[in-house]
Structure 1
Amino acid sequence: MMQEILQQTTWQEWLGVCFSVVQVLLARKNNSNNYLFGIAGILLSLYVMFFAKLYAEFTLNLYYLIMSIYGWLYWKFGKKQKETAISETTTQEKFITTGIVMGTFILFWYFLTQFTDSDVPVLDSLVSAFAWAGMWLMARRKIENWVLLNMSNMIAIPLLIHKGLYLYSILTAFLFIVAISGYLEWRKIIKSKNVTVAE
Structure 2
Amino acid sequence: MQPIFDFFFSQYSDYPLLFIILEIVAVIFGFLSVWYSKQNNILVYPTGIVSTLIFVYLLWQWQLLGDMMINAYYFSMSIYGWYIWTRKVDATHFTPITSTTKKEQITSVFIFIGTLIFVFGVYEYFDKWNNWTAYVDTVTTAIFFVGMWLMAKRKIENWIYWIIGDIISVPLYFYKGLTFTSLQYLVFTIIAIYGYRAWKKNLRNDLRPA
Judge conservation of contact 2:11–2:177 (CA < 8 Å) in 1: no
After the TM superposition, list the runs of 4 or more consecutive aligned residues in structure 1 that deviate by more than 3 angstroms.
78-82
Cα distance between partner residues in 2 of 1:140 and 1:49: 27
Q: Given the alignment, which residue of 99, 105, 109 partners 1:94?
A: 105
Q: Given the alignment, which residue of 48, 55, 58 partners 1:48?
A: 58
Larger Rg: 2
Taking structure 1 as the reference length, the TM-score comes to: 0.92
Q: Which amino acid aligns with 2:36?
A: L
Q: What is the match of residue 184 of structure 1?
A: 197
Cα distance between partner residues in 1 of 2:166 and 2:39: 20
Cα distance between partner residues in 1 of 2:161 and 2:203: 18
Note if 1:125 corresponds to 2:138. Answer: yes
Unpaired runs of 5+ in structure 1? none
Instruction: Map Cα deviations across residues 38-93 of structure 1 (whole Å, 9 max, x no partner).
Output: 00011111122222322011011111000001101110115557521000000000
- How far the C-alpha of 1:34 sits from its partner, in A, is 1.2
Number of equivalences: 197
Q: Which amino acid aligns with 1:84?
A: T
Judge conservation of contact 1:153–1:176 (CA < 8 Å) in 2: yes
Over the matched positions of the two proteins, sequence identity in percent amounts to: 31
Cα distance between partner residues in 1 of 2:148 and 2:157: 10
Judge conservation of contact 2:128–2:134 (CA < 8 Å) in 1: no
